[in-house]
Chain A
Amino acid sequence: MANKRQSTEKVMQTFFFSIATASIAILFMIMLFLFMEGLPIFREVSVKDFIFGHYWYPTSDPPDFGIFPLIVASLTVTALSSAIAIPLGVMTAIYLAELASARVAEIVKPAVELLAALPSVVIGFFGMVIVAPFLQETFGLPTGLNLFNSALMLAFMSIPTICSLSEDAIHSVPIVLKEGSLALGATHWETIIRVVLPASVSGISTAVILGMSRAIGETMVVLMVAGGAAMIPGSVFDPVRPMPASIAAEMAEAPFRGDHYYALFATGIVLFLFTLVFNIIADHIAHKYRQVGEASL
């Protein structure tokens, strides 16, 4: 009998191992493909000119492949949307995990998670036909399709991610810690600020960075509401052209394995590296502040 169980165990192990290997291998090959299709552009233009060049005219003759305005656009849009989404997301999470009555939490939490299921094209359309004219009227702008509008829409998209992951992190703080704090005479508020938040900081920061990764990689929303002007923005109400929008808009018409095609893939590499850095930071923070046992505080 023991033999049969052992062999079943072995088979299952091999099965799961091969599935895991397959998925990792596929992801690795996609990465390899990205680099293979993107690197040839650097025969035409130096890495420095590509990253710091100010003009993006890929189809002109002679062409200019400078993605600096696109990088600036991606970073500013992500930063601004994080500035909106992080406080809202984290505070909502604290409210849901610590302050809300069980009944309220039961209704609000699924509602927030439902927001995550909204297709990005719907959010983009909303930004295009409702928010853009509103911003234009309210602030007297030449156009409502701008950095601020897209940051707002991206914030809508990342709040559910940030909120629900943070809520899980706060929820999983051991009750012993809270009880200890309260027993020492701390108020509920002091316990949240001094004990619960520090204890869950690793989970919250992961949530925040995943939310930011989502914002920097989002394509549809920025394609629809950012305006698409490849210039370095002078104010938050200027139109911008983030990297994903540029790739999505131009890939369909870029001749296969032409310079323009390679340049778009190279833009993809840059985007990939940004997201990779975000994830490494998240990983680092998660490790550094990981709570080991209940005695670590």
Chain B
Amino acid sequence: MKKRTGFIGIVVALALVFGATAWAENIVMKGSTTVLPIAQEIAEAYMKAHPDVKISISGGGSGNGIKAIIDGTTDIGNSSRFIKGKEVKLAVEKGTYPVPFAVAYDCIIPVVHPGNPVTNLTLAQLRDIYMGKITNWKDLGGPDLKIVVISRDTSSGTYEVWEKKVMKKERVYPGALLQASNGAVVTGIAKNRNAIGYIGIGYLTKGVKALTVEGIEGTRETTLNGKFPVSRPLYMFTRGWPTGSVAKFINYIINPGQGQKYVEKSGYVPLF
């Protein structure tokens, strides 16, 4: 473990040496692949506006982002979930106090093939479909076709939200087709009349039909006012209250006229 930390340190140090001029300030971000597109858009714009700042970003998952905050190998840890109690305890033991900043909202929308007449499902119906209890579209007012359930991989952040907000501690049944990305879910559904899946709001295309949940359409407004049930905030964590260049960067991200514009551009829901 120690060796690995040392290795990361060397890599970061090399990145600093080669990636920036001698006087530039550096910000390191890592973590959630869900937050990654937002972080990239904003970092690009920020570096254009502040040529003296160099931001390096990598993915690796929410768990890795928070772990990096605890270990002190990053300035900002991206996460698509809130920090767990276990992790806070570990951080405090190591002498840091992670501070969360909500930077955007992610809204997850159930989708079906455009030829499917079903337009609305309740949370209970969605849960039954994903538990393998409802297996035919005719039970939901659709045609007499077997339902093909498409889910994201169990390790994806999108899956975690779905599990928490829709499944309510029940497990997605093993017969569900697991896809590795939002894009693969869209392809699978656009090509299959029987399929149902769920994707982040940024991935909605004409090839799939968005369903309303409990009669509520998943949009920017219903996400912000909390009416749409399957949404979540996305976070960036810092080590203690941010200072210096990190503080300036966080302020930029949260500013509606600056960073939040790029949240929308990257397909997510801005905070305001």
Q: Which of B16-24, B40-48, B174-182 contacts A (4 or more CB under 8 A)?
A: B174-182
Task: Give min CB distance, A243 to chain B, whole Å.
Answer: 14
Is B251 interfacial (CB-CB < 8 Å)? no
A256 to B61, CA, bound (A): 10
Number of residues in B with C-beta < 8 Å to the partner? 36
| Contact status A58-B154, CB under 8 Å | yes
Is A114 interfacial (CB-CB < 8 Å)? no
Per the 8 Å Cβ criterion, residues 189-203 of B in contact with A are: 191-192, 194-195
Is A230 interfacial (CB-CB < 8 Å)? yes
Closest to B177 in A: A227
A57 to B188, CA, bound (A): 22
| Contact status B155-A254, CB under 8 Å | yes
| Contact status B155-A228, CB under 8 Å | no
Is A87 interfacial (CB-CB < 8 Å)? no
Task: Give min CB distance, B53 to chain A, whole Å.
Answer: 28
Q: Chain A 249-261 against B: per-residue CB contact (8 Å), 1 yes, 0 no? A: 1101111111010
For B72, list chain A residues within 8 Å (CB). none
Task: Give min CB distance, B175 to chain A, whole Å.
Answer: 5
Is A69 interfacial (CB-CB < 8 Å)? yes
| Contact status B155-A143, CB under 8 Å | no
Is B111 interfacial (CB-CB < 8 Å)? no
| Contact status A57-B178, CB under 8 Å | no
Closest to A132 in B: B191
Known: A129-B191, A230-B174. A58 touches B155 (CB 8 A): yes
| Contact status B33-A253, CB under 8 Å | yes
Is A79 interfacial (CB-CB < 8 Å)? no
Is B133 interfacial (CB-CB < 8 Å)? no
For B4, list chain A residues within 8 Å (CB). 256
| Interface size class of chain A, counting residues whose CB lies under 8 Å from the partner chain | 35 or more
Is B1 interfacial (CB-CB < 8 Å)? yes
For B178, list chain A residues within 8 Å (CB). 228-230, 241, 249
| Contact status A145-B155, CB under 8 Å | no
| Contact status B174-A231, CB under 8 Å | yes
For A129, list chain B residues within 8 Å (CB). 187, 191
Is B56 interfacial (CB-CB < 8 Å)? no
| Contact status A60-B171, CB under 8 Å | yes
Per the 8 Å Cβ criterion, residues 143-180 of B in contact with A are: 145-148, 153-157, 159-160, 163, 171, 174-180
| Contact status B176-A255, CB under 8 Å | no
A258 to B1, CA, bound (A): 12
| Contact status B174-A255, CB under 8 Å | no
Is B120 interfacial (CB-CB < 8 Å)? no
Known: A136-B192, A250-B154. A143 touches B177 (CB 8 A): yes
| Contact status A252-B61, CB under 8 Å | yes
For B64, list chain A residues within 8 Å (CB). 255-256
Task: Give min CB distance, A32 to chain B, whole Å.
Answer: 15
Is B59 interfacial (CB-CB < 8 Å)? yes
Known: A60-B171, A129-B191, A136-B192. A255 touches B63 (CB 8 A): yes
| Contact status B146-A142, CB under 8 Å | yes
| Contact status B188-A250, CB under 8 Å | no
Is B67 interfacial (CB-CB < 8 Å)? yes
A239 to B178, CA, bound (A): 10
Q: Which among B156, B163, B175, B191 is the interface contact of A239 at CB below 8 angstroms?
A: B175
Interface residues of A (CB under 8 A from B): 55-60, 69, 128-129, 132-133, 136, 142-145, 223-224, 227-231, 238-239, 241, 248-250, 252-258, 260
A-B contact pairs, 26 of them (CB 8 A): A56-B154, A58-B154, A59-B154, A132-B191, A142-B147, A142-B194, A143-B194, A143-B195, A145-B188, A224-B184, A228-B178, A229-B177, A229-B178, A230-B178, A231-B175, A239-B177, A248-B180, A249-B180, A252-B59, A252-B60, A252-B155, A253-B155, A253-B157, A254-B61, A256-B4, A258-B63
19 further A-B contacts with Cβ under 8 Å, apart from A57-B171, A228-B153, A253-B61, are: A56-B174, A129-B191, A133-B191, A133-B192, A136-B192, A144-B191, A144-B192, A145-B188, A228-B179, A229-B174, A239-B175, A249-B178, A250-B153, A252-B60, A252-B155, A253-B60, A253-B63, A254-B61, A256-B64
